[in-house]
Amino acid sequence: MPQPLENCTNYKCDHCSKKYFRKCDASKHERYCSQNPANNHLCFQMCKNLVRWEEEYEGCRDEIVFTGTRTTFTCILSGQKMYSYIAERKRHPVVTEPDTVRMPLECDKYARITEQEQWDDLFS
C-alpha cells in the first residue's frame, strides 16, 4: 500500500488550483491554464466577427518536414489572421507566421452573436 509523503513541497495553480510536485510543471500549466485571464480571448465569447475554418499546412521541425490540419481564425472586420493560446501550447507553426497575431483579450470590434443568429447558422 502506498505511503503518504511527508514534508513534500506542492505547487498550486493560481487560477484553477491544480497541484503539482514540480515547480516547472506548475509554471507551464499556469501559462496555458484555460482559467488564466491572459488566455481569456474575447473572440471566443461568441463574437460574430470571428471566422473559424480548418486548413492544411506544412511545417518543419528538426529538419523533418510534416503536414497536418489546423484550425485557423480570422476577424471578418479587420481581415487579421489570429491564433489562440492553445496554438502556443501545441507549438503550431501559425504562431511564428508573420501575418498572424495572438487573439486579443479586449477588442473594439467585438459583437456578440445573438441566439437567433446561432440557430440560423445551425439550420441554414
Three-state SS for 59? strand
Q: What is the mean pLDDT of residues 89-118?
A: 88
- DSSP assignment letter at 111: -
Is residue 17 over pLDDT 80? Answer: yes
Nearest to 58 by CA among 89, 102, 92, 99: 92
- Of the two residues 20 and 8, the one the predictor is more confident about is 20
pLDDT tens by residue, 19-76:
999 999 999 999 999 999 999 998 888 899 999 989 887 877 788 888 888 888 999 9
pLDDT band at residue 2 using 50, 70 and 90 as cut-offs: low
pLDDT tens by residue, 86-97:
988 988 888 888
Please, how many CA atoms are within 13 Å of residue 26, restricted to the half-sphere of its CB? 15
pLDDT of residue 68: 82
**Where is 122: in which H helix or E strand?**
helix 115-122
